[in-house]
Amino acid sequence: MPVAAGIDASTAFERQLRTLCLNEFPCGQGSWRTSNDKSLPASRFHVTLKDYGSSNEQEETLEELISSPFSPYSVDYSWSSEAKQLRDLAVKSPWLINKEFILGHFKSLRIVDKNVSKVDDGLLRLSNLEELTLSVNKLKTVDTCNVPSSLKVLELVANHISDLEPLCNKPPPTLHHLGLGLNRISALHDYITGTYWPSLLSLDLSHNDLCDLVEVVQTLATLPKLRNLVLVGNPLALIPGYRGFIIDSLRSLSILDDLGISADEKHHFKGLARKLEFILDEAKVTVKIGMVTGVPMPPELQATEEQPEFPIITRTYYVEYMFLEDFKARACSAQQRDASLALTEKENVDTEKEDVQAPEIVVGKQEGITSDQVDGPVPEGTFFTQTDESPSKLQPPPSTTNGTDHSQSPPPPLKLVQYRTEGLQWAEEGLEFAWEHELVIDDLPALKEFFKRGMLIAVKEDKVLSVPAEEGDEKASEAGKKAGGQKSAKTGKDSKSEKADKPKEKPGGGKKKKKEPEIELIHSPPEVTVLGMYTVDLGSFVDGDYSLEETCTCQGGALDAGEEEEEDKKDDSLDSKKDKKKKKEGGDNAKAKKGKDSKDKDKDKGKKTGKPDKKDSKMKRPESQLSDEDDRQAPPPPLNVHIQVELHHWLTARDSIPKPPVVKQPEDDGKSEAGTQG
C-alpha cells in the first residue's frame, strides 16, 4: 500500500524560508533597485523629475509592498518571529543577506503540520535557535543529538511519540519547557528526571496514556526546578486523589493543569503524599437520573369505551444506559464463576457449558437491573454488546505496553454493560426516578476512551400481557360465545364447573369478585419498545471537569416513528379532501337534474333538505380546518431526561480515608430488594 512519506525537519524549514522570496522582487539586489542606494544612502530620500517614469523603484515603495497586508507580495510570517525582520533587511540592506547570516538570524522556528517524520542534523546549523516547535507532525522519536544545544523551548505536541529514550541522548542543558502533549506516552521510566533535564521549569504531558499516578509523581519529583505541570487528559487524572496527591508530593509546583495552586490547597492536602495505600488506580463515577417528561399516555388510558377485562396490560417505563463494567461487580462475578465451576465438576459435561456462560450475565443483575429483566432464561447478548463478547476484550489496553507504537493498531473494543433504573408506571406529571448509581472503574484507559465516545441512554417501555391459566381461558372462551365479553371474563375467573355459568345469581357474582386475586395469571414476555435515545457527551471529563448536568432530548425511537406516520396521515387526509372537492364540483350538475324531479314530487321536502345541507357544509369546513391547525400547532411534548454524571475527586486529605461500608450496604440492599419486588 502506498504510504505518504514524511520529510525531514530541515527540508520543511527550507521550504518555509523560500516563501520569504529574499532574492526576488521587491527584496534583494535586482534591477528594480536604484544604483546609488548603497553608495549614497542619503540620496534615497531625493525625488527628482528624472525619477518619474524610470524602471527603478525607491526604497520606501519597496518597503510598502512588503509591509501592507493588501499587497500581492505579502507573505505569512507566523512560522518565525524573525521572518518579518529578515525580509525587511532584504529590502533595506540586501547586501547583508547570505547563508550564514540567515542561519544565525533565527531564534524561533515553528514547523507545524508539515508532515515531518524525522529531526535531522540540518537543524544544528541554526546556532542561535532558542524555540523550536514541531507540533502536529508524524514524529515517532526525536533524537536530541540533532537539536541545537541553545534551545530553551521544545514543543512536540500532537505527534506519535511513544519512546522517550532518544529524547535523552543529548538534551539541551538550558531547556526550560518541554511539550509532549497529545502523544502516546504510556510510561516515563527514568527519562524525565533531573539527570537529563536539570533546568526544566515547565512540562506538558497532557492527553497521553499515563496510568500509574504514584510512579509518575515519584519520577517528576526528581526535577529540581519544575514549577508548571500539565497532566490533564491522562487516565491517571481520573483518580479521585489526583490533584491533591500531586500538590502534596511536588511542593515546589506553582501551576497544575493551567490552574494556580493556592496556599489553601497545599494546606488541605497536607499529608496526602504519605498515604500511598489510599492512592489506587481506579475512578469512581456516579450516575443520577431524575425526572423524565414527555412519555406518551398509554392507549388503554385514552380509550373511552369499556375494554375487556382480559388481557391485563401492564406497562413499565425505565431508563437504560451503557457504561463500563463495575470493578466490584466483576469481582463478585469471578467468585461466582469459581463456585459454579466447582459445582459443575461433579455434574455432567453438558451442564458445564451452560454454567460457564452464566456468570457474565449475572453482572447486570448485581448492578441495579430489576427482576423484570432477569426472570427466566436470559438470551445471550442481553447485557453485553456484540463487540464485548468477542475475544478481543481480553487484549490489554494500549497504555499497558511501554514504548510501543499504537498508530496502526486500533484501540480494543470497550466492554460495556447495560444498566437500568427501576420500572415506574405512567404518570401525567412525569416519571421521577431519583436513581443514583455509583460505579468503581479500575480500567482507566477504557474509561478515558468511554468518556470520549459518550454514554448512550435510552427510554424504554415494557409491555406485559396477563391472562388467566389455560383452564380459565377455555371457560372464558366458551362463555364468551354465549354471553358478553365482560361476563365471560368473570366466569373465566371462577374455574369451578360449567354448571356455575347457568344460574345468574347476584350474591354468587359477589363471591367471584372476592376470589379474583387468587386467579393464576400467565404473563407474556415483555414487549420492549424504545421510546427515544440520546448520547451524552462526556468529553469534558477528559479535559478536567468533574460534573455534568444535562436535560437530554431523546429522539430516534418509537415516538419519532409515530410522528412520521401522523404526518403521512395528515398528507393523505389533505389529498383526500382535495379529491372530495373535485367530486363535489363534478357532481353539481347531477344534483341539478335530481333537483327538478324532487321539486315535482315534494317541494316542501326539497326546500327543507336543501337549506340545512348548505349551512352544514359551511359549518363543517372551518371545523376541519381548525382541527388540522390545532394538530399542527400542538405537537407532542419532547421526551426529556434529566441526568447527572459526577466524577469523584478529593477536596481535602480527609476524603482519602474510605468511609465504612456498613452504613451504605443496608440502604443499597433495601433499594435493590424494593426494585426487584416491584
All structural domains of the chain with their residue ranges: 1-107, 139-278+651-678, 282-326+367-463+527-568+635-647, 470-519
Query: Is it the case that residue 468 has pLDDT exceeding 80?
Result: yes
Q: Tell me the β-bridge partners of 631.
A: none
327 Cβ neighbours under 8 A, 6+ residues apart: 282, 440, 441, 442
Query: Measured between alpha carbons, how far is 125 from 428 in angstroms, rounded to an integer?
Result: 77
200 pLDDT band, cuts 50/70/90, is very high
Segment 431-454 shows an average pLDDT of 95
pLDDT on residue 672: 41
Query: Is it the case that residue 499 has pLDDT exceeding 70?
Result: no
**If you ran DSSP here, which 8-state letter would residue 376 be given?**
S
**If you ran DSSP here, which 8-state letter would residue 397 be given?**
P
Please give the share of the chain, as a percent, with pLDDT higher than 90.
Answer: 47
pLDDT on residue 73: 74
Q: For residue 43, give the C-alpha cell.
A: 540620496
Nearest to 451 by CA among 465, 460, 441, 461: 441
481 Cβ neighbours under 8 A, 6+ residues apart: none
Query: Measured between alpha carbons, how far is 524 from 521 in angstroms, rounded to an integer?
Result: 10
Q: For residue 547, give the C-alpha cell.
A: 460534573
Query: Is it the case that residue 459 has pLDDT exceeding 50?
Result: yes
Segment 485-500 shows an average pLDDT of 39
For 9, 200, 271, 420, 463, the CA distances from 139, given in Å and listed in that order, are: 10, 22, 41, 45, 57
pLDDT on residue 555: 87
For 572, 575, 594, 605, the CA distances from 584, given in Å and listed in that order, are: 18, 14, 15, 22
* 199 or 31, higher pLDDT: 199
Q: For residue 519, give the C-alpha cell.
A: 386467579
Q: For residue 59, give the C-alpha cell.
A: 526604497
659 pLDDT band, cuts 50/70/90, is confident
Model pLDDT for residues 583-606, shown as the tens digit of each residue: 555 555 555 545 555 545 454 544
pLDDT on residue 610: 46
Query: Is it the case that residue 609 has pLDDT exceeding 50?
Result: no
Query: Is it the case that residue 528 has pLDDT exceeding 90?
Result: yes
Segment 633-645 shows an average pLDDT of 87
**Buried b / exposed e along 71-85 (16+ C-beta atoms within 10 A):** eebeeeeebbebbee
Query: Measured between alpha carbons, how far is 383 from 514 in angstroms, rounded to an integer?
Result: 41
Please give the share of the chain, as a percent, with pLDDT higher than 70.
Answer: 59
For 307, 315, 463, the CA distances from 300, given in Å and listed in that order, are: 8, 10, 12
Mean confidence (pLDDT) of the chain: 75
493 pLDDT band, cuts 50/70/90, is very low
Least confident of 103-117, 128-142, 609-623: 609-623
The answer to whether the CB of 192 falls within 8 A of the CB of 407 is no
Query: Measured between alpha carbons, how far is 185 from 141 in angstroms, rounded to an integer?
Result: 11
pLDDT on residue 72: 72
The answer to whether the CB of 645 falls within 8 A of the CB of 455 is yes
Q: For residue 347, give the C-alpha cell.
A: 455434574
The answer to whether the CB of 317 falls within 8 A of the CB of 295 is yes
Exposed (0-12), middle (13-18) or buried (19+): which is 601, by Cβ within 10 Å? Answer: exposed
312 Cβ neighbours under 8 A, 6+ residues apart: 465, 466, 467, 521
323 Cβ neighbours under 8 A, 6+ residues apart: 285, 287, 416, 417, 419, 439, 450, 455
* 438 or 306, higher pLDDT: 438
Q: For residue 612, give the C-alpha cell.
A: 340545512
Q: How many Å from the N-terminal Cα to the C-terminal Cα in the chain?
A: 59
Query: Is it the case that residue 28 has pLDDT exceeding 70?
Result: no
Segment 422-430 shows an average pLDDT of 92
pLDDT on residue 199: 96
The answer to whether the CB of 144 falls within 8 A of the CB of 121 is no
Q: Matching CATH topology for 139-278+651-678 and 282-326+367-463+527-568+635-647?
A: no
CATH class of 282-326+367-463+527-568+635-647: mainly beta
Three-state secondary structure readout of 161-220: CCCCCHHHCCCCCCCCEEECCCCCCCCCCCCCCCCCCCCCCEEECCCCCCCCHHHHHHHH
Query: Measured between alpha carbons, how far is 514 from 523 in angstroms, rounded to an integer?
Result: 21
488 Cβ neighbours under 8 A, 6+ residues apart: 476, 477, 479, 480
**283-293 and 431-441 beta bridge pairing:** antiparallel
Query: Measured between alpha carbons, how far is 495 from 497 in angstroms, rounded to an integer?
Result: 6
pLDDT on residue 440: 95
213 Cβ neighbours under 8 A, 6+ residues apart: 236, 239, 241, 242, 245, 246, 279, 281
Query: Is it the case that residue 162 has pLDDT exceeding 50?
Result: yes
pLDDT on residue 589: 52
The answer to whether the CB of 188 falls within 8 A of the CB of 404 is no
Query: Measured between alpha carbons, how far is 283 from 246 in angstroms, rounded to an integer?
Result: 16
Residue 546: other Cβ atoms inside 10 A: 13
Query: Is it the case that residue 624 has pLDDT exceeding 90?
Result: no
Q: For residue 3, give the C-alpha cell.
A: 504510504
pLDDT on residue 496: 40
Q: For residue 422, give the C-alpha cell.
A: 427501576
pLDDT on residue 376: 34
Query: Measured between alpha carbons, how far is 132 from 179 in angstroms, rounded to an integer?
Result: 10
pLDDT on residue 22: 78
Q: Tell me the β-bridge partners of 438.
A: 286
Q: Tell me the β-bridge partners of 420.
A: 320
Least confident of 118-127, 169-178, 409-418: 409-418
Least confident of 109-113, 184-188, 282-286, 336-340: 336-340
562 pLDDT band, cuts 50/70/90, is low
pLDDT on residue 347: 58
pLDDT on residue 467: 86
442 Cβ neighbours under 8 A, 6+ residues apart: 280, 281, 282, 327
pLDDT on residue 630: 52
Segment 32-49 shows an average pLDDT of 50
pLDDT on residue 403: 39
Segment 147-166 shows an average pLDDT of 96
Q: Choose the most confident range, by mean pLDDT, from 158-162, 357-361, 509-513, 561-565.
A: 158-162
pLDDT on residue 32: 64
Q: Can you tell me which residue has the cell 525537519?
A: 9
For 139-278+651-678, CATH number out of 3.20.20.140, 3.50.4.10, 3.80.10.10, 3.40.605.10 equals 3.80.10.10
pLDDT on residue 635: 79
The answer to whether the CB of 55 falls within 8 A of the CB of 125 is no
Sign, Cα dihedral of 642, 648, 651, 654: positive
